[in-house]
Amino acid sequence: MSAQASLIGSGDLDALRSGIKVCMFDQYGTVVDMQAGLTGYVTPFLRDKGWAGRPDAFVTWWRRTHFENSMIDALLHTTHTSYRQIGERAVAYTMERAGIAHTADEVSDLVEAIVRLQPFPDVPQALERLRSAYRLAVLSNGDPDMLEAAKAHHRIKFDAVISVAEAGSFKPHVVTYRKAAELCGVEMHEVLFIANHAFDCIGAKAAGMRTAFIDRRARPFGGTPHQPDVVVPDMAALARLMVPD
């Protein structure tokens, strides 16, 4: 399925449009531009530290470490660790790996930059179009206080903003999607879950939601049996597909 593809057959697409009540979004990397935003934030910090590496590579290390640690936490499925704490562990590890001297306050400051991330340029207008036909919600791995503080920066109105803390696990654990649908008062199949990350689409689809993959990086989705219902290159294309003229 290519980055321009949608469901095969107009009948299937019509059924998807009519069956969905809630468009539910991942926030970090789907609504807000995490890679570019954090790269911009760490660039002067790393320059002041005298680190000669690429700031975007530092952010990639950070994000991959965070992802790995959150997946371990979800698989252990004991006490849920906060997103902020996972993030601080990941940043500290990344700076140790890069040989950058740092303080606990510097680590906390870098993680707090996530709150101030801005939306991808096409997102606000696309979500306004989707709002004309569907309720809009967020399901994020972020902590409740981080998601609340972020509203002043991304300035997008959602009908519901749900943290996985409600379910006590990180995505893609099945309980996170079930809890989000429950809180929105809809059945699983009445949710179109939208993410820029294959793992998140896979988790939502396996749990019983419909899914849309925002393929901004033009990468293969992979051979999972839990293929997305819709693949589009950006949020604007999704809005046009789901709310046609």
Residues with a catalytic annotation lie at 26
Biggest alpha carbon distance in the chain? 58
Distance CA 241, CA 44 (A): 40
Beta strands in the chain (DSSP E): 22-25, 135-140, 160-163, 191-195, 210-214, 230-232
Handedness of CA 176, 120, 220, 69 (dihedral sign): negative
Which single residue is written with the structure tokens 């934030």?
41
Distance CA 210, CA 201 (A): 9
Which single residue is written with the structure tokens 């099945």?
174
In the chain, DSSP finds a helix count (H) and a strand count (E) of 10, 6
Looking only at the bridges linking them, the beta strands covering 135-140 and 22-25 are parallel
Cβ atoms of 139 and 180 within 8 Å: the answer is yes
